[in-house]
Structure 1
Amino acid sequence: MSTRRVDPDRRERIIDCAVELIASQGVAGTSPRKVAALADVPLGSMTYHFPCMDELLEAAFTRFAAEVGERFAAGLAGEFAGAKLVAALVELIHDDVLDSRRSLVLTMELYALAARDARFRNITQGWLEISARALERHMDAATAHQVDALIEGISIHRALGTAPPSRELTAEALRKILGA
């Protein structure tokens, strides 16, 4: 008689490991076998929890987008205006939301999937809505859209450029958009 291993956190561990593999090896380098090995679960658990790779990717990117969105909203939860708002946004862009190479790579991997697949566009749309709500606490919707576009552009430059934008360049662009 075999004993069943009780592992209530298995699904979450699989998702966590998928996120880490995507960050280090990209979507193309992530497979159910690699995720199972990293998560220390039998390969059969992968198909039990995620019948196809797209479902695993969707869960991984949903988790990543929710975490980034929560950090973004938390960073703008206070009362900010003028120079304080610019400073808060610079800190969010450079020190929090796009805080690491990992975050930048995961963002670019998600964008590549979203360009081709509506399921992943839905994830990015949810992320954009969280950002818009957080920004609109401090500015009108049109300005929030401009600031969000700047943030997205900076993230692309930070991920792909050899000389990422400086904090001062980011602050200058924000002051121009915000009229601060």
Structure 2
Amino acid sequence: MATGHTDPQRRERILAAALDHIAEAGVAGVSHRRIAARAGVPLGSMTYHFAGIDDLLREAFTRFADHIVAVFEQHLAPVDGVEAARQAVTDLIHALSEGPQRNLVLSQELYTLAARRPEYRELTEAWMLRSRQLLERHFDADTARQLDGLIEGLALHRALDRAPHDRELTLRAVARITTV
């Protein structure tokens, strides 16, 4: 394996390894040694690229939040009109709930970390703001806030329910919130 400056992907591998580890073992199991081993990099690379575990967690979770915002954008950006936006929100909820279990776990790990450690709340607040801004392209600010909560809640419930509700129920819930 390449070392030092000849390994431009090392930082990215470390971040990916951190997210993979968090998804499997939780934030509590994160350590420089475990992440370095998982990324296949020397332990010294951890402190070279990140000031500490908190720096690593912030950047890894920021990357994860960017990914989820991109999923929101993929569903919401191309639509025009309220009815198409309702369909897009419904599609988004189902995409999130039927997507990789890893994303569900990472979301909950970040929320738990932010609930326990206020310094991580700015990360979740920025994520929620970006999600709401995408929703505000189609709905007023209050509706966007309500939809953001609905998206999170229904996606979580669908992902964890042994008999997840169907698309029609999701669409009716979205319509209730978005009908003036």
Q: TM-score range by the shorter chain?
A: 0.7 to 0.9
Q: Which has the larger displacement, 25-34 or 40-49?
A: 25-34
In structure 2, the residue matched to 1:62 is: 62
1:162 Cα offset (Å)? 4.4
What is the root-mean-square deviation in Å for CA atoms of aligned residues?
Answer: 2.2
% same residue: 49
Deviation at 1:55, TM superposition (A): 1.4
Check whether the contact 2:18–2:35 (CA below 8 A) recurs between aligned residues.
Answer: yes
Deviates more, 1:148-157 or 1:163-172: 163-172
1:159 Cα offset (Å): 5.1
Q: Any residues of structure 2 matched to 1:99-110 within 5 Å, and which?
A: 99-110=99-110
Number of paired residues?
Answer: 178
Q: TM-score, normalised by structure 2?
A: 0.88
- CA shift for structure 1 position 119: 2.9
Question: How far off its partner does 1:98 sit?
Answer: 6.5
When normalised by structure 1's length, the TM-score is: 0.88
**What is aligned with 1:28?**
28
- Contact kept in structure 2, 1:22 and 1:30, CA below 8 Å: yes
Quote the residue 1:111 is aligned against: 111
Does residue 142 (structure 1) correspond to residue 142 (structure 2)? The answer is: yes
For the residues of structure 2 that align with 1:108 and 1:102, how far apart are their CA atoms? 10
Name the structure 1 match of 2:153: 153
> Which of the pair is proportionally richer in helix?
2
Matches of 2:97 and 2:136, distance apart in 1: 17
Corresponding residue for 2:125? 125
Q: More deviation in 33-42 or 98-107?
A: 98-107
Distance (Å, rounded) in 2 between the aligned partners of 1:28 and 1:159: 23
**Unpaired stretches in structure 1, ≥5 consecutive residues:** none
Deviation for aligned residue 1:170 = 1.4
* Distance of 2:84 and 2:147 partners within structure 1: 15
In structure 2, C-alpha distance between the alignment counterparts of 1:63 and 1:107, rounded to whole Å: 12
